[in-house]
């Protein structure tokens, strides 16, 4: 299929311990297209293979077989260094456990992806402040992660994910460690980013409730897509 | 990528600051190693510098020839014994054991070309020149003409000794202008022909002044004592002095200045061979030994460099242990920060930027350790040289070497941990608890 989609997965297979006795096939041929500006949720129980799929979409891992084209770039034949660059430029990660660097301030955390992209100091700072303001964290930007609440940390993490203007935001259980009220504000930020700025967002979750909020729900079970529902 | 390097340094400093105790303990090996290197190099340089310059001012081509005891077989000492053996003389020497005028004359005629001068002296003693209320402290030394020539004194008035003064042992003296200032109100020409009374050990000596020289404070003496109390030297013809001291024997030592182009260390052997073969062959108790400034200098330098070597080995071991400590702490630190590394990779850090980050951190630890070590080392050296009475000369080479070596240790012992960090699988690193 000739594609204009943001994410194009074609017959993705992922095997671990290949050619060994304990060889394990986690994904059995997944094909999925996600278009620009979509808000898609990938739902599955633990052990369904959704984390493995997320790792492949986030280019933290390579598929064993199949084609993955992200924003027009084929991932299969890219070198490690190119993969780092693509991750840096095209993908904004939001993790369940925030994964902020604890020794530095919120501001420095948001600047980090831009640092690896080679953005000059002054511009880095301006952009970081801009995105922190967007998530309502500008007044606390000089605080270190230890001095922030869970919801605040996740908002900093979202600002960090946005800092290089990525093609997609990949959120792995972003509200998993938060109480429902705080989780709500985080989901609101995602909706706002998707609605107002047309950001492509992929939400990985096991919560059917959260998935219901998104535009399309892809359900994974035993390494296969079992249902796909557009709302 | 230069700014990334700078960011890494700030990052490393932040990281190290948040764990000061651990960082300091890690640095300890480096600090001790570098401090000992700097301390010994500084002390070594200071001793060498001070001693060399003071010895060179005395004269590097001077050889002291002296009668010394024959060392018996069972107390065989190392080659340095040759140089310091002369201190054991005077142990019941009989008249036959001394160096006679004939021997010296014989020696002079044999090696005329190699000898610039032979210096003979006889100390009469220290006392005061007195004239009524006026007095000035002096030392009276009998010298031969080579000796006086070698002093390179500037004549203010009168003359030095003639050969006849020497031969006839005339009681004439060559005095310092300082003495004339005190005793004769600075009238140098009027002083010529005057008689001065010198009082030494309950005895008066009378001498006629034939010349006045310009007194120069010798730098090495001036540095150690108050110049106003320094006695000036009153020179007397050698044999006049020997009459005063009633010396009937020969000399126990004399000094030879070698002519330019003569290797003084080699000439030492020639002198020893000449005297020992011709005059001391049948002497069971005494022989002639020599020491030159050059050989003393080289044995001192040798000693300092041997000590330096030993400390360098200790320093090397200390630096090795320090380096291993750095590697160890880097491995711990990387394990602690596995998730951070995973996160950085997810955010776009390449393997090489992770590697650079940790190598820079390791270098920063080592350089800070190195700088503390350098300061500590200079401090120790300053105290040590002060105690020994030398001027401190911080060893620039040592400092450059230490900083370079610190960087090297940082890179060498930081590379393995950093590379390990760089090769972490991001998925596993992110999942690490």
B334 or B151: which leads in pLDDT: B334
- Mean pLDDT over all residues of chain A? 91
Can you list the alpha helix ranges (DSSP code H) found in B142-292? Answer: 145-150, 163-167, 177-184, 188-191, 219-222, 238-244, 264-278
The pLDDT score that the predictor gives to residue B316 is 84
User: Which residues of chain B have a CB within 8 Å of the CB of A55?
Assistant: 427
Instruction: Search chain A and give the residue with CA nearest B17.
Output: A103
Q: Which residue has the tokens 């651990």?
A: B22
Summarised one tens digit per residue, pLDDT across range B275-318 is: 888 888 878 788 888 888 777 777 777 887 888 788 778 888 88
For residues B213 and B123, give the distance between their C-alpha atoms in angstroms, rounded to a whole number. 19
Which residue in the set B18, B339, B348 is minimally distant from A116, CB to CB? Answer: B348
Summarised one tens digit per residue, pLDDT across range B63-74 is: 888 888 877 654
Helix A80-90, helix B338-346: angle, nearest 10:
80
What interface predicted TM-score (ipTM) does this complex get?
0.92
Instruction: Search chain A and give the residue with CA nearest B351.
Output: A81
For residues B402 and A166, give the distance between their C-alpha atoms in angstroms, rounded to a whole number. 46
For residues A33 and B88, give the distance between their C-alpha atoms in angstroms, rounded to a whole number. 102
Q: Which of B382, B257, B301, B224 shows the shortest CA–CA distance to B52?
A: B301
Class of domain A36-50+80-230: alpha beta
Mutation target for B interface from A53, A103, A165, A166: give the one with most B CBs within 10 A: A103
The pLDDT score that the predictor gives to residue A2 is 45
User: Which residues of chain B have a CB within 8 Å of the CB of A85?
Assistant: 348, 350
Within 8 A by CB and 6+ apart from B266, the residues are none
Instruction: Search chain A and give the residue with CA nearest B16.
Output: A103
Instruction: Search chain A and give the residue with CA nearest B342.
Output: A99
- Interchain contact A116–B (C-beta under 8 A): yes
- The full set of domain ranges for chain B reads 2-53+299-431, 62-297
Mutation target for A interface from B5, B340, B347: give the one with most A CBs within 10 A: B347
- Interchain contact B20–A (C-beta under 8 A): no
- Interchain contact B426–A (C-beta under 8 A): yes
Enumerate residues 44 to 73 of chain A having a beta carbon within 8 A of any beta carbon in chain B.
55, 58, 60-61
Q: What is the nearest CA distance from A78 to chain B, expressed in angstroms? A: 13
A112 contacts B350? CB cut-off 8 A: no
A93 and A58 in contact (C-beta within 8 Å)?
Answer: yes
B11 contacts A104? CB cut-off 8 A: yes
Q: Supply the pTM of this predicted model.
A: 0.68
The pLDDT score that the predictor gives to residue B313 is 85
Summarised one tens digit per residue, pLDDT across range B396-414 is: 888 888 889 889 999 999 9
């Amino acid at each position: 299929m000739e594609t204009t989609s943001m994410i194009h997965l074609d017959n993705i297979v992922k095997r671990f311990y290949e050619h060994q006795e304990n060889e394990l096939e986690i994904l059995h041929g997944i094909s999925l297209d996600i278009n620009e500006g979509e808000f898609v949720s990938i739902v599955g129980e633990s052990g369904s293979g959704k984390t493995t799929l997320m790792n492949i979409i986030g280019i933290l891992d390579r598929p064993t077989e199949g084609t993955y084209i992200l924003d027009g770039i084929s991932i299969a034949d890219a070198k490690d260094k190119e993969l780092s660059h693509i991750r840096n430029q095209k993908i904004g990660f939001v993790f369940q456990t925030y994964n902020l660097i604890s020794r530095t301030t919120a501001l420095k955390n948001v600047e980090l992806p831009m640092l690896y992209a080679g953005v000059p100091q002054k511009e880095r700072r301006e952009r970081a402040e801009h995105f922190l303001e967007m998530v309502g964290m500008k007044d606390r930007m000089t605080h270190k992660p230890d001095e922030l609440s869970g919801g605040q940390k996740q908002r900093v993490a979202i600002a960090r994910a946005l800092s290089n203007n990525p093609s997609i935001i990949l959120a792995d259980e972003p509200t998993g460690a938060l109480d429902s009220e705080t989780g709500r504000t985080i989901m609101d930020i995602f909706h706002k980013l998707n609605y107002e700025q047309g950001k492509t967002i992929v939400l990985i979750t096991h919560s059917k409730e959260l998935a219901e909020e998104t535009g399309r729900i892809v359900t994974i079970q035993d390494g296969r897509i079992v249902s796909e529902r557009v709302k | 990528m230069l700014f990334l390097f700078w960011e890494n340094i700030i990052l490393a400093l932040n990281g190290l600051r948040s764990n000061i105790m651990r960082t300091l303990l890690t640095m300890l090996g480096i600090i001790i190693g570098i401090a000992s290197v700097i301390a010994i190099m500084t002390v070594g340089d200071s001793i060498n510098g001070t001693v060399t310059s003071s010895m060179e001012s005395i004269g590097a081509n001077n050889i002291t020839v002296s009668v010394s005891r024959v060392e018996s077989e069972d107390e065989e000492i190392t080659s340095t014994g040759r140089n310091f053996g002369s201190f054991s003389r005077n142990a019941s020497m009989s008249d036959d054991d001394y160096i006679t005028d004939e021997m010296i004359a014989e020696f002079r005629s044999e090696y005329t070309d190699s000898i610039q001068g032979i210096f003979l002296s006889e100390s009469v003693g220290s006392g005061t020149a007195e004239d009524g209320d006026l007095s000035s402290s002096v030392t009276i030394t009998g010298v031969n003409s080579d000796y006086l020539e070698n002093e390179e004194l500037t004549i203010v008035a009168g003359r030095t000794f003639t050969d006849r003064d020497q031969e006839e042992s005339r009681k004439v003296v060559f005095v310092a202008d300082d003495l004339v200032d005190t005793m004769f109100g600075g009238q140098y020409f009027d002083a010529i022909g005057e008689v001065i009374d010198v009082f030494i050990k309950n005895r008066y000596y009378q001498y006629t002044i034939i010349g006045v020289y310009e007194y120069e404070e010798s730098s090495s003496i001036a540095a150690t004592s108050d110049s106003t109390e320094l006695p000036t030297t009153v020179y007397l013809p050698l044999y006049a002095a020997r009459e005063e001291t009633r010396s009937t024997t020969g000399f126990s030592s004399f000094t030879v200045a070698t002519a330019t182009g003569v290797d003084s260390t080699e000439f030492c052997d020639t002198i020893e061979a000449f005297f020992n073969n011709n005059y001391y062959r049948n002497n069971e108790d005494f022989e002639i030994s020599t020491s030159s400034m050059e050989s003393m200098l080289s044995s001192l330098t040798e000693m300092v460099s041997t000590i330096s070597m030993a400390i360098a080995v200790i320093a090397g071991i200390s630096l090795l242990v320090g380096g291993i400590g750095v590697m160890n702490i880097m491995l711990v630190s990387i394990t602690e920060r596995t998730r951070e590394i995973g996160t950085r990779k997810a955010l776009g850090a390449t393997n090489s930027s992770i590697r650079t980050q940790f190598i820079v951190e390791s270098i920063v630890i080592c350089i800070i350790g190195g700088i503390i070590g350098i300061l500590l080392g200079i401090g120790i050296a300053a105290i040590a040289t002060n105690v020994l009475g030398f001027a401190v000369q911080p060893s620039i080479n040592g400092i450059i070497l230490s900083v370079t070596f610190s960087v090297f240790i940082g890179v060498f012992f930081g590379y393995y941990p950093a590379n390990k960090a760089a090769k972490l699988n991001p998925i596993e690193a992110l999942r690490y608890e």
